[in-house]
Amino acid sequence: MQTTCQNRKAYMKHVLYLLMLLASLSATAQEKAFFELPIIPDKLQTLQERTDYMVEHYWDFCDLKKSFSSRAKMAEAFDTYLSFMPYASADVAFKSVTAFLNKISKQPADVLFIGELAEGMLYSDTAEFKSDELYLHFAKLIAENKKIDKTSRLRYQHQAKVLSQSQVGMKVTEFDYIDPTGSKQHFAIDTTQVATVIFFNDPDCSDCNMARLRLDADIKTNRLIDTGRISIYSIYPGDSGNEWMSQVSVYPATWKIGAAPDADEIFDIRQTPMFYIMDHEGKIVLKDNNIDLIINIMSLLHAPKKKRAEATQTSGTEPQD
């Protein structure tokens, strides 16, 4: 499964780890293993072929009714399982997860344990290999499991709902918001612009305020706004009120400011700040909380078209004119 690696050193570390692991999987190497791992056929030579086989057959020899008696060992085994996912094909990864969760579907406590592990490893702020696509698959399957208690299912249903409509490549959903004057406004893409930025933030969040100040101070971002090439929406995913209105009075006058208490029912806002960048058609091209990345993209958008095309060959993140 193709993923975006946040840390190249960590990526290379995992590649080397996987190569060594895949090369050393033998009966001798598995004598002290938590459970027997599958032996990859020698005829499979490429990294993807070998990881596909490992992902597909990883749990074949694991007694999934007894293995959860040692949560620590199971967590370690699950971590190893997920470490193969970025190098496997998407179809194989999804089918493997489905088969795995089906096998433990009548063990609700164990399913929730796996759900917590998957969230931490794929979806949390500290996840080394973030994959909304793969975590969405986990969330959907857990949310559909009738053995899970209602409260837990509702949580996974919510995660699945927002991830199902706010992933990169999807068309952004229009929504209403309240501006600082108390008037109702509507968010929609201006198709004449190169890009639209939604900046989800909380005035009481120090990281949000720092991101706002940096973006407001960026000369190239301001030029893009002044020339009508982009719009920036600063949206507070909470209720408007006198306190909020007074706090946002210092926000840039060139931005569109609003409060949308139901935004987290539409967008994946697992943390703030969170930025969404859409192209002129309204398709989400980036979702990230890294202000350095956002400013770099603003610089890319401001560059002459030829230079942007050259940069896009390596970045792949530019919204299209």
Give ∠ CA 157-265-235 in degrees, rounded to 5. 150
**The pLDDT of residue 303:** 80
Reported as a pLDDT band with limits 50, 70 and 90, residue 246 is very high
**The pLDDT of residue 128:** 78
Indicate if the pLDDT at residue 309 is higher than 60: no
Is the CB of residue 260 less than 8 Å from the CB of residue 239?
Answer: no
Which phi-psi region, left, alpha or beta, contains residue 2 (left: φ > 0; alpha: ψ -120 to 50)?
beta
Indicate if the pLDDT at residue 65 is higher than 70: yes
Reported as a pLDDT band with limits 50, 70 and 90, residue 21 is low
| Residue appearing with tokens 């006198």 | 242
Residues 275-303, mean pLDDT to the nearest whole number: 95
CA gap 101, 96 in Å, rounded: 9
User: Please, is 276 exposed, middle or buried when counting C-beta atoms within 10 Å of its C-beta (0-12, 13-18, 19+)?
Assistant: buried
CA gap 122, 271 in Å, rounded: 15
Is the CB of residue 203 less than 8 Å from the CB of residue 236?
Answer: yes
**The pLDDT of residue 129:** 80
- Give the range among 15-29, 228-242, 293-307 with minimum mean pLDDT: 15-29
CA gap 96, 102 in Å, rounded: 10
Q: Which residue has the higher pLDDT, 110 or 310?
A: 110
**The pLDDT of residue 28:** 42
Reported as a pLDDT band with limits 50, 70 and 90, residue 12 is low
Residues 126-142, mean pLDDT to the nearest whole number: 93
DSSP letter, residue 122: I
Indicate if the pLDDT at residue 243 is higher than 50: yes
Is the CB of residue 156 less than 8 Å from the CB of residue 139?
Answer: yes
| Residue appearing with tokens 């009120």 | 241
CA gap 235, 279 in Å, rounded: 18
Q: Which residue has the higher pLDDT, 255 or 32?
A: 255
Reported as a pLDDT band with limits 50, 70 and 90, residue 20 is low
pLDDT above 70: percentage of residues in the chain? 84
Q: Which residue has the higher pLDDT, 318 or 290?
A: 290
Indicate if the pLDDT at residue 186 is higher than 80: yes
Query: Which domains are delineated in the chain?
Result: 8-165 (no CATH), 175-315 (3.40.30.10)
CA gap 201, 137 in Å, rounded: 27
DSSP letter, residue 119: I
Q: Is the peptide bond before 203 cis (omega within 30 degrees of 0)?
A: no
